[in-house]
Amino acid sequence: MSISKREALLLFIMGVMAILVVSITFVILPLQRNIETLELQKSQLETRKAVIDATLPLAPSLRNRQEEKLVVVNDELAKIEDPINAAEFERWILPITTKYDMRITSVSLSEPAISTPSGMIILVDEPSYQLKTLVEGYKGEATLPDSAPSSSAQLLKSVYTYSVETTYSRYSALLDEIRQWNNTFMVSSSSYNFSTSLATITIDAYMIHKIEPSSDKDYSGDYVAGGSNGNPDDSDDDWPAK
Amino acid sequence: MIKNDMNLLARYQEIHKEKAAQYSANKIYAVILLVLFLVIGAYSLKLFLDNNMLKGEVNDLQAYVESPNVIARMNEIATLQDNIKKLDEMAAEVGSINEVLKTAVRFDSNTLNVLFYNRPSNVEFQNISFQQGALLVTVTGPRPSDPSNYVLRLQRTDYFKEVTYTGYAYDAGSSQYTTTIRLVMKGRD
């Protein structure tokens, strides 16, 4: 069978096209797609490597920073007491009431609850009115509004209330003993009735969990407390009762 | 009428010419196919080599970034960074708490001393009550001037932020004037 030149040309073109289609579809395109995928993978890995190469040398300085910050944070945390329970708090107060021979008449103790710190600072703002503002402006004076630091940070707070019978000077000494703890246990309310010699003291105890406990207070063993408010020595009462 | 003579030479030349043209076209086709195969082959080979080279590079990079040593060191750094972030947060939290507690009002004998040593000699204490930064002091005196004298003395100490009282009452039984003074305490600097 013989074919014409025109048919031969058409067959050739079809053949060439078939070869092109087959080789592009089954060889070139898959290889190109593979290369694109590998290039993307390579670029991602190079980015990761760059990050790693930039990060790894930071390890020593990060270790130093962590240690420095740990010291700072531990110092700040150490200013606040470790969490204690009500029974443990008694080991703080009973030695003082025993020392001053106070008769404890009632005690109310709470377990730690979440709270925010209070500095018990009452803001006092003077009344402001137009003429006062003008006068102050004329005199070049300015009244700044009263302010106090506040915090929304949470910590633990227990409230312990003691009622004791004692003399005024011993009551005063008890307040000083609590003050000398110089910690975050502070008197939030207190009263002394001179006619009944009855004192009440409420202590807000702020506590916080720490990275490293900072208190070395010993709560082991038993403690025997005393206190009868008996035979108060008038010599230690240099203040008149009334 | 045209006379058609048989011309064998012309016919021979015609057939030979056709064959020659046919052979020459086949050659062109073959050359084109060869070139096509060569181009496709060369390009495919280039792609294949590129592919292999990239595979090798990717494998090397992967081996580096996924090596246990690098992963362990990166994990350590991530832990360090996380710890530093937590320490920063802790420092901010505890710092704000300490700022409040550092300036908190402390009720102790200093305050009682101020109350006592500024008291007019004929004024007597009845009750002292401290509540969340404010003091209520109940005193008695034989003269109606005693409450105001005491308040003015306390104001002059500048120990308290505010000293106020709202009046007094006379008790005929004890012949004493009784008043309650409210004192707002200052926070510590």
Which CATH number do you get for residue B119?
3.30.1360.100
Which tokens sit at A153?
């940070």
Residue contact B77–A55, C-beta within 8 A: yes
CA distance A188 to B133: 7
Residue B73: domain span: 67-101
- Burial class of B117 by CB neighbour count within 10 A (0 to 12, 13 to 18, 19+): exposed
Which tokens sit at B124?
């007597």
Assess whether B141 and B175 both reside in one domain: yes
Domain ranges of chain A: 5-78, 86-236
Q: What is the pTM for the complete model shown?
A: 0.79
Query: In angstroms, what separates the C-alpha of A85 from chain B's closest C-alpha?
Result: 21
Q: Which of A3, A43, A51, A76 to mutate to test the interface with B (most CBs of B within 10 A)?
A: A76
Q: What is the dihedral of CA B169, B174, B176, B182, to 10 degrees?
A: -60
Secondary structure E strands in B32-175: 124-131, 134-141, 160-171
Phi, psi of B41, rounded to the nearest 5 degrees:
-60, -45
Q: What is the mean pLDDT of each run of 10 residues along chain B (189 residues)?
A: 68 73 79 92 94 95 95 95 96 95 94 94 94 95 94 96 94 94 91
Number of domains within chain B: 2
A77 touches chain B (CB under 8 A): yes
Assess whether B79 and B113 both reside in one domain: no
Which tokens sit at B65?
């970034």
Assess whether B115 and B97 both reside in one domain: no
Instruction: Give the pLDDT of residue A206.
Output: 96
B11 occurs within a structural domain = no
B164 occurs within a structural domain = yes
Instruction: Give the pLDDT of residue A234.
Output: 47
Which tokens sit at B160?
């308290």
B124 occurs within a structural domain = yes
List, for chain A, all residue ranges whose pLDDT scores fall below the cut of 50: 234-235, 238-242
The residues, ordered by sequence, that sit 6+ positions from B114 with a Cβ below 8 Å of its Cβ are B154, B157, B159, B160
Residue contact B90–A73, C-beta within 8 A: yes
Residues of A in contact with B87 (CB under 8 A): 66, 69-70, 72-73
**A108 bridge partner residues:** A161
Assess whether B137 and B113 both reside in one domain: yes
The DSSP symbol for A194 reads: T
3-state secondary structure A23-92: HHHHHHHHHHHHHHHHHHHHHHHHHHHHHHHHHHHHHHHHHHHHHHHHHHHHHHHHCCECCCCHHHHHHH
**How many CA atoms within 13 Å lie on the side-chain side of B54?**
21
Query: In angstroms, what separates the C-alpha of A221 from chain B's closest C-alpha?
Result: 31
Instruction: Give the pLDDT of residue B114.
Output: 96
